[in-house]
Amino acid sequence: MSIVEEKWPEIIEHLRTEHEIMSVSFNTWIKPLTIYNVLEDTIYILVGSNASVEYIEKKYSLPLKVCVAEILNQEYEIVFVSKDDERIKPSETTIEEINYKKQIQSLADKANLKKKYTFDTFVVGKNNEFAHSSSLAVAESPGEVYNPLFLYGGVGLGKTHLMHSIGNFILEKNPDAKVLYVTSEAFTNEVIEALRAGRTSPEETAMSRFREKYRTIDVLLIDDIQFIIGKTSTQEEFFHTFNELYDAEKQIIISSDKPPKEIETLEARLKSRFEMGLIADISSPDYETRMAILKKKIEIDNLERYHIQNDVLSYIASNVKSNIRELEGSLNKLIALYRLGNNEGEIDIELASKALKDYISPENKREVTPELIIDIICEHYNITVENLKSNKRNVEISFPRQIAMYLIREETSMPFKGIGVLLGGKDHSTVKHGADKIAKDLKEDETLRNTIEILLKKIDPS
């Protein structure tokens, strides 16, 4: 049973309470809905024979999408289908294809790979063509051509996307390959945990399990290596992992914000290892590439129905220049604003300029604002901003929320009261308690210190 099916009763209950759906409506429209299938980021929902797909789509598609994201912490497209819909009468081959896709999906989950990041969805421009072709070569012949492959470039320019594309490509061609994508934060935290467990248990089983896990991999992708730098024990562990994998001709792919020689605190022996393979950089995209990326995103996310005109896209592409994550964020914000305004009229430049307000400051320089901190925390923990601002108490949400309280307080001059308002109406004492708790835990908890250090570098990379 997929996680979506497992959580379905909770999702519709959440929909019922959040949207105050009357029981007659709930029983007529929502209760009979069943999950037909979940493929990648799309949930196919079967509508009962007495209901109209169009009606349910119009009325409940968006609220349901939001509830799914809130409960599962992941966004899905929702597609309603009726029993006689062509899409659910698969031929023999499509059943096979579906099963194959499901198998690949579960392998990708194990490898920590996001299925949406593939070479097909990556737009190639002058800024990234070398990194792209090197990545493709590595994906086609892992361990054979460029080892290690070292990708570097500024924030939000597609390094992670390319790494996942390599991993997904390899798994698609060879489902038996042992692929593992890991951020250097996760790697560091695993080292810290294994060392801690080793100190309390004499057999040091945690450390040997850690080594066993990392040294039996065929393809190791390690993202944002700059964050392990300066931590002796982690560098040491990484050095040994690297050597073992390299000697066994296993593929290693590393990303960083700088080339190895410019990472000052990187140990010389690691620097020279990284320089043994191929180093490829990604720079900021030019205008044409930015336009192509916006168009690709419209295609992938099925946003054609908003009929966004070229002049509006061009306005976004001309103003958001140096970070593709922000380019995508501007488009999402534009659509969110349009929906909030009851979808009236056309999406025009005036609306686009409102959407861009948070993304560009006068000199196109990024300021450390509370909103930026919230965006970074949500992305880091893979949760939605709505969830962060909600009143949910589960630790997956409440912990990042407390981190937000702490970091906004530390990094901006916003008072507790203002932070509370920004975080969905929390009161002064809740915010103070959250921020104080993180400050206190930081003194004892090395893993938390590592995480906060990384978040701070993401907030202000300079």
Ligand X SMILES: Nc1ncnc2c1ncn2[C@@H]1O[C@H](COP(=O)(O)OP(=O)(O)OP(=O)(O)O)[C@@H](O)[C@H]1O
Residues that bind ligand X (CB under 6 A): 117, 121-123, 128, 153, 155-161, 224, 257, 293, 296, 324-325, 328
CB-based contacts of 433: which residues, under 8 Å, 6+ apart? none
Beta carbon nearer to ligand X, 44 or 117: 117
CB of 327 to ligand X, least distance (A): 7
158 appears as a binding residue in the annotation: yes
In whole angstroms, the minimum distance from the beta carbon of 224 to ligand X comes to 5
Q: Which two tokens stand for residue 39?
A: 């493929």
Q: How far is Cα 3 from Cα 125, in angstroms, rounded to an integer?
A: 37
Shortest Å distance, C-beta 158 to ligand X: 3
In the bound state with ligand X, the residue whose beta carbon lies nearer, of 153 and 420, is 153
Axis-axis angle for helices 232-247, 184-200 (nearest 10): 110
The Cα-based distances of 89 to 94, 102, 222 in angstroms read 9, 17, 41
156 known ligand binder:
yes
Q: How far apart are CA 212 and CA 231, in angstroms?
A: 21
| Closest CB 423 distance from ligand X, rounded Å | 23
Would you say 29 or 223 has its CB closer to ligand X? 223
Shorter beta-carbon distance to ligand X: residue 135 or 402:
135
Residue 127 vs 402, nearer CB to ligand X:
127
Q: CA Rg, the chain, in Å?
A: 23
- 3-class SS of residue 186: helix
**Of 260, 239, 242, the residue nearest 251 (C-alpha):** 242
Minimal CB distance residue for ligand X: 158
**Could you tell me the smallest distance in angstroms from the CB atom of residue 247 to ligand X?**
28
Q: To the nearest 10°, report the CA torsion of 6, 10, 11, 12.
A: 120
| Element (DSSP H or E) covering residue 38 | strand 34-39
Which residues does the annotation place in the binding site?
156, 158-160
Which residues does the annotation place in the binding site for ATP?
156, 158-160
